[in-house]
C-alpha cells in the first residue's frame, strides 16, 4: 500500500513539473512576440489644413466642409500603427501600417467606418512635413477626397492666448436678407435683396475669460456673437474640437489653436467655469447686429 501511494505521489510531482515548464515556455513565447516600438520621433500631434478646396464659397451643407486636421500618432511597430484623427469636432481611432523605402516613410491608416465621414488616410513624411490624402468610404460626399499638409506641433494650455486682432470676425453662416427698393428711370420699382451678416466687436480682443473674473457690467452691452466668441475662446485654449462651423471658421485659421479633444470640461479652471455660467446667462437675452459685408 505504501509503495502504491509513493508511485502516485511521484507521478503527480512529475506532471506538475511538466505543466510548470509548459506554462513558463508559453509565457516566454508571448513575451518574445511583443514587438519593439519604432520611429518614436514621429509620435505626437501633426496639425494642418485640408488643401485645394474653398469652403467659404460652398453654398450647401457645411458639415463635411474641410477644416483643421490633427493626426495624433500614438504607437508604431513593424506590423501596426495606432493613431487618432481629430477634425470637425470628431475624434476617430486610426489603425494601420507603416512601410518604408530607404528614407521614405508611408503610413496607411483607416478610421473604423462606423461614422458617415470615416475614411482612409494615406500619408508620407517629407522631412518635417506630413503630406497625404484622405478618401471617404462614402463617395457621395461633397468632398470625397481631400489633400492635407501637416506640421508637428506641441499642445500646451495657455490662458493668455487671444484671437488675432488683425482679423475680421464675421459669421458667414448666419445671414439676414433685407429687401431694398430702387426706382428706375422708367418709373418702375426694382427690388433688391442684400445679405447682412453677424459681426463681432473689438471687445473679443479685450476680455479674457480665462484670466479675469468677469462682471455683469463687462457683458451687458455685448453682442450675442461677442459673448459666444469670448466663451468659446476658453474652450479653444484647451484644445476643444469644435463641431459647429460657426466656431470652426473663427478658430481653425488661428496658429495657436490645436484641436485635441471633443470634451474638455474637466480641464476648465475655476475662473473659466464661473465666467461660462455668467456668459450663458447673458447669451439668452443678447441680440445680434447684422452688417453688410462683401464676399
Percent of the chain with pLDDT over 70: 77
Same domain, 192 and 137: no
**Average of per-residue pLDDT across 263-269:** 97
pLDDT for the residue 39: 93
Question: Is residue 26 predicted with pLDDT exceeding 90?
Answer: no
State how far the Cα of 80 lies from the Cα of 97, in Å rounded to an integer.
Answer: 5
**Would 55 be classed as within a structural domain?**
yes
Q: Which of 123, 129, 119 is nearest to 107 (CA)?
A: 123
**Average of per-residue pLDDT across 170-198:** 72
Same domain, 181 and 286: yes
The DSSP output letter for 179 is: E
**Would 12 be classed as within a structural domain?**
no
Q: Which of 163, 159, 110, 156 is nearest to 137 (CA)?
A: 110
pLDDT for the residue 211: 98
Question: Is residue 285 predicted with pLDDT exceeding 60?
Answer: yes
Question: Is residue 28 predicted with pLDDT exceeding 50?
Answer: no
Same domain, 102 and 137: yes
State how far the Cα of 201 lies from the Cα of 261, in Å rounded to an integer.
Answer: 28
**Would 64 be classed as within a structural domain?**
yes
Same domain, 139 and 196: no
Question: Is residue 272 predicted with pLDDT exceeding 80?
Answer: yes
**Would 205 be classed as within a structural domain?**
yes
Same domain, 129 and 179: no
Q: Where are the beta strands (DSSP E) in the chain?
A: 44-51, 68-76, 81-87, 90-101, 104-110, 119-126, 129-136, 145-153, 170-183, 189-199, 290-292
Neighbours of 123 (CB within 10 A): 22
pLDDT for the residue 61: 47
Same domain, 200 and 138: no
Same domain, 237 and 287: yes
Q: Which residue has the cell 478646396?
A: 53
pLDDT for the residue 194: 80
pLDDT for the residue 254: 95
Same domain, 176 and 132: no
Q: Which of 272, 289, 280, 277 is nearest to 233 (CA)?
A: 272
Average pLDDT, the chain: 84
Last residue of a domain, one of 122, 153, 184: 153
Give the domain extent around 106: 40-153
Last residue of a domain, one of 120, 153, 186: 153
**Would 32 be classed as within a structural domain?**
no
The answer to which of 38-47, 62-71, 131-140 has the lowest mean pLDDT is 62-71
**Average of per-residue pLDDT across 5-23:** 51
Number of domains forming the structure of the chain: 2
Question: Is residue 294 predicted with pLDDT exceeding 80?
Answer: no
Question: Which pLDDT band holds residue 182 (cuts at 50, 70, 90)?
Answer: low
CATH of the domain at 49: 2.40.128.620
The answer to which of 103-112, 161-170, 192-201, 221-230 has the lowest mean pLDDT is 192-201
The Cα diameter of the chain in Å comes to 130
The answer to which of 12-26, 49-63, 111-125 has the lowest mean pLDDT is 12-26
- Pairing mode, if any, of strands 290-292 and 189-199? antiparallel
Report the SS3 class of residue 94.
strand
The answer to which of 53-67, 216-230, 242-256 has the lowest mean pLDDT is 53-67
**Would 82 be classed as within a structural domain?**
yes
Contact 172, 295 (CB under 8 A): yes
State how far the Cα of 133 lies from the Cα of 51, in Å rounded to an integer.
Answer: 10
**Average of per-residue pLDDT across 10-21:** 52
Question: Is residue 36 predicted with pLDDT exceeding 50?
Answer: yes
Same domain, 62 and 129: yes
Handedness of CA 225, 227, 228, 233 (dihedral sign): positive
**Would 29 be classed as within a structural domain?**
no
Same domain, 147 and 203: no
Same domain, 276 and 175: yes
End-to-end CA distance of the chain: 103
State how far the Cα of 87 lies from the Cα of 7, in Å rounded to an integer.
Answer: 70
**Would 83 be classed as within a structural domain?**
yes
pLDDT for the residue 4: 54
Q: Could you read off the pLDDT of 150-159 as tens digits, one per residue?
A: 999 999 999 9
Q: What is the CA radius of gyration of the chain?
A: 29
Same domain, 129 and 200: no
pLDDT for the residue 289: 78
pLDDT for the residue 127: 85
CA dihedral 48, 139, 106, 251 (to 10 degrees): 10
**Average of per-residue pLDDT across 160-181:** 84
Amino acid at each position: 500500500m505504501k509503495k502504491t501511494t509513493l508511485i502516485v505521489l511521484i507521478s503527480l510531482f512529475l506532471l506538475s513539473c511538466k505543466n510548470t515548464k509548459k506554462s513558463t515556455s508559453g509565457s516566454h513565447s508571448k513575451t518574445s512576440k511583443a514587438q519593439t516600438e519604432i520611429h518614436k520621433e514621429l509620435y505626437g500631434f501633426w496639425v494642418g489644413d485640408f488643401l485645394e478646396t474653398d469652403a467659404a464659397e460652398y453654398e450647401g451643407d457645411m458639415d463635411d466642409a474641410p477644416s483643421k486636421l490633427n493626426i495624433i500618432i500614438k504607437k508604431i511597430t513593424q506590423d501596426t500603427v495606432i493613431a487618432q484623427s481629430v477634425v470637425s469636432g470628431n475624434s476617430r481611432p486610426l489603425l494601420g501600417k507603416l512601410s518604408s523605402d530607404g528614407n521614405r516613410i508611408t503610413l496607411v491608416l483607416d478610421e473604423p467606418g462606423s461614422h458617415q465621414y470615416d475614411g482612409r488616410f494615406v500619408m508620407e513624411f517629407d522631412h518635417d512635413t506630413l503630406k497625404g490624402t484622405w478618401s471617404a468610404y462614402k463617395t457621395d460626399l461633397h468632398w470625397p477626397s481631400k489633400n492635407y499638409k501637416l506640421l508637428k506641433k506641441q499642445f500646451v494650455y495657455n490662458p493668455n492666448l487671444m484671437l488675432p486682432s488683425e482679423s475680421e470676425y464675421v459669421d458667414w453662416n448666419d445671414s439676414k436678407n433685407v429687401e431694398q427698393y430702387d426706382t428706375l428711370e422708367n418709373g418702375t420699382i426694382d427690388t433688391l435683396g442684400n445679405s447682412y451678416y453677424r459681426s463681432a466687436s473689438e471687445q473679443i480682443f479685450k476680455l479674457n475669460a480665462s484670466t479675469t473674473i468677469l462682471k455683469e457690467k463687462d457683458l451687458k452691452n455685448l453682442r450675442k456673437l461677442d459673448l459666444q466668441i469670448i466663451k468659446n475662446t476658453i474652450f479653444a485654449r484647451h484644445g476643444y474640437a469644435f463641431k459647429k462651423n460657426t466656431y470652426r471658421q473663427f478658430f481653425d485659421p488661428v496658429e495657436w489653436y490645436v484641436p485635441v479633444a471633443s470634451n474638455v470640461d474637466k480641464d476648465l479652471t475655476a475662473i473659466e467655469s464661473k465666467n461660462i455660467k455668467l456668459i450663458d446667462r447673458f447669451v439668452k437675452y443678447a441680440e445680434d447686429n447684422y452688417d453688410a459685408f462683401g464676399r
